[in-house]
Structures are given as C-alpha cells and as structure tokens.
Structure 1
Amino acid sequence: MPNVPARCPTLLIAAPASGQGKTTVTAGLARLLVRRGWRVRVFKCGPDFLDPQWLALASGQPVDNLDLWLNGEQDVAARLYAAAAANDVILIEGVMGLFDGEPSAADLAMRWRIPVLAVVDAGAMVGTVGALAYGLRHYRPGLPWAGVLANRVASDGHAVMVQGAVASAPDGAQAAGWLGALPRQEAFALPERHLGLTAAAELPDALARLDAVADALAQTPLGQRDAADWAAWCVTLGAPPAAEPVPPLLRGRTVAVARDAAFGFLYPANLQTLADLGAEVVFFSPLANEALPPCDAVWLPGGYPELHAPALAAATHTRATLAAHVRAGRPVWAECGGMLALCDDITLTDGTQWPLWGLLPGRVRMQPQLAALGAQSWATPHGVLRGHTFHYSTLQTALAPAAHTRPARGFGRAEAVFRHGSIHASYFHAWFASSPTATAWLFGAEVE
C-alpha cells in the first residue's frame, strides 16, 4: 500500500437514537448520488447484517462494517483508505445514537475528523429538534459537524417551523447547518421485524422505495449539494501501516456456506477472510433443499430459520448430505441461526413446534423479548475471535459447553460454545478478520 494520503468527501450519518431513519437517509442519499454517476462506498458502524443489505442495494457495492473494537483501528483505517482511493464519496451509517456504545459512532468521527450529519425524527416535535441538534453538536467538544436533517415532518409548514427552531439555537442557523427535511411517507418506509429491517432481497419494490427517498432528498439542501459543496466535507486518510499477510492456511480446501433467506447474516469481510486464507468458497441453499456441495468444511451463518421452519424441516436432502459430512468428521461452524437449524426442534412464539435437522442435541424456543445482545470475544486455542451476539431464542441442551465467550462489557452475558463431534456451534457471530488463524482452525486447518 503506497504511503500516499487519500482525500475523499466523507459523511457520517448519525442520530439521537435508533429508529430515527439513519438507514433510510443513508441508503436514499447513496442512491441519489449513484444516479448522478458518482462512485459511492457505504459503511455501517457496528455489527449489523441487515442495514448493509439496503446500503449495498443503494450503492451497488459491498458494505463492510466499521467498529473500533470489533475491527480494530488498523483494519478500520485500511478500509477507509482503500475506499477513499477508489470512490467519489464515502457514507457511513452510525449505530444507535451518536454517542451510544463503547466505542461510539462519535469516536469514529473524532478519530478521522469525519463530519456528522444528524438525522432527527421530527414527527412529534418542533422546537426540541433545535435543542437536540445543538446538543449533539456540542456534547463532544471538537466534533466535526455537517448539519441536521429533519425526518418524518408532517407538512411544509411543520418543516419551516423545525428549520426555525434549529436556526434559533445559540450558534445560529449557519453554524447549525440546516440540510433540509424529509416528509413522512409510507413509500419511504423500510419494513422491520425482530432483529432489524426486513432483508432488501425479500421485497420486490426495495429499489423503488430507495428511489422515492432519493427523489425527496433531491429537493433538500443536502441533495442539492454539488461536487464543490461535497469537497468541503473532504477527509484526508493516511495510508495505514501494512497489515501482516494472512497465511494461506486453508489453501486447497473448499468451504461450503449456506446462503439464502434463512441464512443471510454474512459479513462480506468474513467471506474475504476465507478467500485470503486460500479457501475456495461455494454456496448452497438449504431452503431449496440443495445437497451440500463437495467440500472440506461448512459454515452455517445466522439468519431467520424460525421464519422458514417448515421448509427447513422438509429439507431432507440438505440434512442427509450435511449428516454425512459430519459423520465423516469434517468441520462445521454454526453460528446463531445456523446452530438452531442443527437442533432437534424449534417452538415458535405461537406455540407451533417444528422438527429440525437433529444433528446437535437441543431444543429451541423463540420468545418475543430479546435474549442477548452485545459484543463478545472467544479465546480459541489459536487466537481470539471478536464478534457479537443478538438473538430472541433460547436453547435447552444436555451438552456441556466446550468454551464460553467473554462479554466486552462487564454487564454482558457470556455465550456457550458447543462442540459435538466435528460441529462447533454458538450464538456468537464471529468477525473472522479479528483472527484469521483461529478462523482457519475453526474450518479444519492444522495450526501450530
């Protein structure tokens, strides 16, 4: 990597809290700029699988996650530098509220001097939008600032009043950076379910929704900024230190990855890590009852098996070929939803019970409330994998855990890691790049 700084207009889209419309605005803005012919690279702060699918649809490029704890500072720096060198604009969607989490989106903005756009849901307020915008801007001294965008305003008159409230803040309208308002419209809505947004691929009108948001943004001061205006938000990104090369510990091995609507929680960076390790990655769909492809190891990622329990119960061909793989002693890594599919059965929130694949002793029960959430690390015998946990189910099993993850925060709850024959399984979602050596071991490589 040449030691030449890269400059690129970069914007962090944040909010006072979750549910304000960050993903809608980020995806709509990316779509608007792509329609102008700009190369737009989008990132998502924190661990997330669903928002990046919408952002990838809008930008036409893969969306990586940026988290100072999960990735590490050097990895974040490398991804930003590479994006700046190859794109016209970088957009970063924040996580939760601007200052929520350790580290927070604000920490990311401060570290690389990235201007912050605050999206505020103005649907039930007027003057308080000014107070929120002022507080977000000044809570952390020296925070780079781009401006504020009001979301879900009820009318043109409402928008004018909100703009006046922002202008009446102590630092005035110009300093506050009024960047416009988006109306409340059903056409803009990105539907949700438990665990987050509905996957973009499940909605035939997903792109039309993003175009509707882009059209509305085009009428705002934010959407009317030209290339010279965006240049005011340029960030200079120095070339990070060269990362240690990833050893090709999986060279000559094939890793089969389940990928469909039931198993869609895949970090692009995880697939890249497998490729960097030398693995050939192939995909199969349990929902289509596809046979396991010829392979040396299997990855069953997380997703929504509970939404597809009847189809998974009927996937006898997938189950049989996976069982043969396990009998042969070949490794399987199953995380969260992937682990659930291996269990004996699942009881849904309405009490309906479905049989599953019966390759991991245990019974799953879905519940309406969140069971666990938070950053975790797993000290494997060959390195520490970082990741997170986020699930609405519980698992009853007679298996004794082979290990436990460690919460990154003192108040978190450790997750069990089970070993059953050649299967490793846990609610833990791993970020493979945090330890390529541990990842290679998990997929059967001989590691010293």
Structure 2
Amino acid sequence: MTLTATCPAILVAAPASGQGKTTVTCALARLHARQGRRVRVFKCGPDFLDPYWLALASGQPVHQLDLWMTGEADCRQRLHAAAQDADLLIVEGVMGLFDGEPSAADLAQRFGLPVLAVIDAGSMAGTFGALAWGLQSYRQGLRFAGVLANRVASPGHADMLQRSLREPAQWMGALMRDAAFTLPERHLGLVMDHELGDQGEALQRLDAAADALAATPLGRMSLQDLDAWAMAFEGAAAPPAASVAPLLRGKTIAVARDAAFCFIYAANLQCLQELGAQLVFFSPLADAALPACDALWLPGGYPELYGPALAGNVAMKASLHQHVQSSKPVWAECGGMMALFDGITTTEGERYAAWGVLPGEVTVNKRLAALGPQQLPLPYGTLRGHTFHYSTAETALPAAARTEAAPGRTLRGQGEALYVQGSVKASYFHAWFASSPEATARLFLKEPA
C-alpha cells in the first residue's frame, strides 16, 4: 500500500563547492525552527561534517540521500517519513549542482525538488546572472526556485547582481560577507560545532546567519509562501526496516563517539537498532575502559589531532586489548582503523603511539590519498559507501578483500583494503549499513568456530 504526504521542500545547490550552501541551509533551517516550525534537513551524498551543523540548526537528526549509496527506495522512504510531520524539508546538495554521478541535480529531478541556487558573488557582477541562467537552463525539466547571492560586498553590489538576472522574480536576496556567521573549516571539511567550545558559540553563528537571511526575500517567506514549494512524497505504509531480520538481537555494541571519533551516520545507528542491537557510547579520549559489550564499532574521525590524549589513555588501550583477546568483534572505519595501528605520524612529522592492536604505521599526508564512492563485497552481501582520507597505512597484514568502484566509476589504483586479524575487521572504507543489513550484522557477530 502506498501513502502520500505533502510538504514544502527545497534543494539548496550551488555551481561549485565552497559557495556557502551549508551556511545558507543552516540559516534557513534555523530561521524556521526558531519560529516554531518543524524542519527536517537532509544532506545529499556522503558527508559526516555538514550534518552536525544542520542538525544543530534544525533540532532534528539529519540523514543522507544518495541515489546510489543509499538507493532510490531508501531516499523515497526517508523523504516520505519526514514529510508526514514536518512543515519544511530542506536538502543540502553536494559539490556543484551537476557534479558527481549521481549529482544533486539527479536527486532533485528524480523527486521533483525545486532548486535554490547559492552563488558566491564576491568577485562578480553581471556574470552572476549568466551563472544563474546557466544553472536554471542547463537541464530540461529541472524545477528552479530562485537564486541567492552570497558573500556580497555592499547593498550597491547586491543591486547590480539583482539587475543581472534575466528573470527578476528569481531573486531571493543577498547575504553580505560577514565573519560572524562563517562556519570554520579544516582539511576534511567543516569544523564540528562542538569544537568551537560550548555549543553557545556555534548557535550564535547560526543565529547570526538566520538573522541575516531574515532580511532577504527568502527569509521573509511565510508558511503560505512556502506552499509554492509543496510537493507530494510517496512511501510505503510500513517502512522497509520492518522486514529487517533482528540478527543482532540481544547484542550490545559499544560505539566510540567523541571529538576524535565522530564520523557517524545517524542512519547507521538506526540500522543497528533495527537489527536488534542495543547501543552504548563511550569516549576513547576520556573514558578508562570500554562499557560492557559484545562488539565494538570504531568510526572515523580525527585521531591524528588527539595523539597525546589517545597515547596517554593507557587504561583504555588495555581495555581494547582485553576486548580483542576475548575474541569479541571489532569493526573499525578510517580514523577508527588508524588508531588500531602501532603509531600515527602527523603532517608535522610528530609520531604518537596508537593502540597497537594491528601491526603497522599510519602517516598523515598533506595531499588527499583517496576519495569517492565505493562498495565492499562480503560473503553475506555488498556494502555501499565511500572513502575520503589523507593518511596512508603501512602494514604487513594482507588485504582480506578490497573495495570496488561504484558502478560507472573507475578506481585509481587498488581499492581500499579490508584487514582482518582475529576478531578485528578494519578498513579506510566508510560503510552505509542499510545497503546490506545482513553484511552489517556479520561485522558485529563472532565468526562460527
């Protein structure tokens, strides 16, 4: 049985990365959430960092939408579920509107989402109109909601930009260049909201952005105005999760979650719970031991930024070794895997002792080592996901398996290695658990004797 839910929705896109999509998406979500509206935000493509800010702005969990990694059916069901109790759905695009396979434009067109284009107009005038026209006209059938100028120098500059548009009605306003609501970045993307100190500073930045947006035509849209973006989302009467076998029922999984290990999809936690697992969280930086658990998940993050703290927490290291010596499963992704090796050397040449569970050394480089969608074939199914890292690992461990390129893509060199030692499975690969719940469950179950 198919049900329909109607809700205003918008996809925030740009001609390239770095134009300010996240700032505008956060500002729009924060503005409407402050007014008491229920806002749900999604992120197009694999991304761990933007969703932290988007969730803070909206007050709701943020899930990924990707026609390949998560799949069309998954996207459709999440949009439908959100539309049932939200006043506004916002999807933040990825890279440029037409970049990637699949692109943000593909997602918008598949679900009929209107597109709001954000353009960094800091160094342009009339060309702004050409860019807006190109984004609107490049692909036939793409719904276009309008254009917002970002990082504008002055009201006079904004007037020039507005006059450059072929269709004046598409003008959604201008945000001036202002450090008060600039979201800080580092090599893997945005700095986490909680890294600014207390959460109050992060909220101050979001409020400043929302206040600025409130003075634009986009920010002045009422609920009635938003009806122009209203669309019907179809979904099944019962979510696909209802058919997932509870393969992890009765199992407790400890999940590392702190400033060093923070690359966690909210939907991955949801998938583990739907598999029947009970989740407990701990901090490898601050805690002295693992919580009582049957299996351990070490997600990605920034272990290289916290070398002294990780090396100094000898009690946690001992607890991890005891877990492994008890043959309890460990799944470690990217940063989680890095911490399992003997040592990590930073870009400044400083080496810190790591946990020494796996033999080998990790070196963090200044150049990107790998990026892109990949999939990991396993005996119980194929996990989809992606890879994104600057470090490299040197180890005597053989690769038990390797990731493959997403369909239609090619790999430069070999895929990411899956290392297996005893009950430990580790890789630079970031998995989207719902792409194969059974394969996911097997990562956290003891292998048959």
> By the TM > 0.5 criterion, same fold?
yes
Quote the residue 1:255 is aligned against: 253
Of the candidates 175, 188, 194, which is equivalent to residue 195 of structure 1? 188
Quote the residue 1:438 is aligned against: 439
SS at match of 1:238: strand
Contact 1:109 1:116 in 2 (8 A): yes
SS at match of 1:23: helix
Quote the residue 2:47 is aligned against: 48
AA partner of residue 234 (structure 1): A
Q: Partners of 1:198 and 1:254 in 2: how far apart?
A: 31
AA partner of residue 185 (structure 1): D
Q: Aligned residues: percent identity?
A: 62
1:142 deviates by 1.0
Q: Partners of 2:411 and 2:293 in 1: how far apart?
A: 40
Q: Partners of 1:150 and 1:141 in 2: how far apart?
A: 23
Q: Partners of 2:288 and 2:65 in 1: how far apart?
A: 34
Q: Partners of 2:282 and 2:230 in 1: how far apart?
A: 42
Quote the residue 2:243 is aligned against: 245
Quote the residue 1:429 is aligned against: 430
Equivalent pairs counted in the alignment come to 440
AA partner of residue 428 (structure 2): Y
1:240 deviates by 3.9
Q: 1:112 to 1:228 in 2, by over 3 A?
A: same
Answering whether residue 420 of structure 2 is matched by residue 419 of structure 1, we say: yes
Answering whether residue 89 of structure 2 is matched by residue 93 of structure 1, we say: no
Quote the residue 1:291 is aligned against: 289
SS at match of 2:109: helix
Contact 2:29 2:54 in 1 (8 A): yes
Q: Partners of 1:23 and 1:438 in 2: how far apart?
A: 33
Q: Give CA deviations for 1:273-304 in whole Å, capped at 9, x if unaligned.
A: 11001001001101103310111100000000
Gaps of 5+ in 2: none
Q: Give CA deviations for 1:63-116 in whole Å, capped at 9, x if unaligned.
A: 000000011110000000000001000000000000011111001110111100
Contact 1:249 1:445 in 2 (8 A): no
Contact 1:30 1:58 in 2 (8 A): yes
1:411 deviates by 3.7
Answering whether residue 190 of structure 2 is matched by residue 210 of structure 1, we say: no
Q: Partners of 2:194 and 2:58 in 1: how far apart?
A: 14
Q: In the TM superposition, what are the counterparts of 1:253-402 in structure 2 within 5 Å?
A: 253-402=251-400
Query: In terms of mean alpha carbon deviation, does 39-48 or 313-322 score higher?
Result: 313-322
Q: Give CA deviations for 1:119-159 in whole Å, capped at 9, x if unaligned.
A: 00000111111011000001010101100000000000000
Quote the residue 1:73 is aligned against: 72
Quote the residue 1:136 is aligned against: 135
SS at match of 1:374: strand
Contact 1:250 1:445 in 2 (8 A): no
Q: Give CA deviations for 1:327-372 in whole Å, capped at 9, x if unaligned.
A: 0111000000000001101111111111111001110001111110
Quote the residue 1:173 is aligned against: 168
- Structure 1 runs of 4+ off > 6 angstroms? none
Quote the residue 2:152 is aligned against: 153
1:22 deviates by 0.2
Contact 1:41 1:63 in 2 (8 A): yes
1:317 deviates by 1.1
Contact 2:376 2:382 in 1 (8 A): yes
SS at match of 1:288: coil
AA partner of residue 181 (structure 2): F
AA partner of residue 223 (structure 1): G
1:213 deviates by 0.4
Contact 2:3 2:236 in 1 (8 A): no
CA RMSD of aligned residues (A): 1.1
Quote the residue 1:185 is aligned against: 178
Contact 1:179 1:222 in 2 (8 A): yes
Q: Partners of 2:61 and 2:309 in 1: how far apart?
A: 29
SS at match of 2:262: coil
AA partner of residue 368 (structure 1): K
Quote the residue 1:406 is aligned against: 404
1:4 deviates by 2.5
1:412 deviates by 4.5
TM-score of the two chains, using structure 2 as the length reference? 0.96
1:446 deviates by 6.7
Q: Partners of 2:147 and 2:297 in 1: how far apart?
A: 42
Quote the residue 2:162 is aligned against: 163
SS at match of 1:334: strand
Q: Partners of 2:89 and 2:360 in 1: how far apart?
A: 44
AA partner of residue 108 (structure 1): L
AA partner of residue 388 (structure 1): H
Contact 1:246 1:276 in 2 (8 A): yes
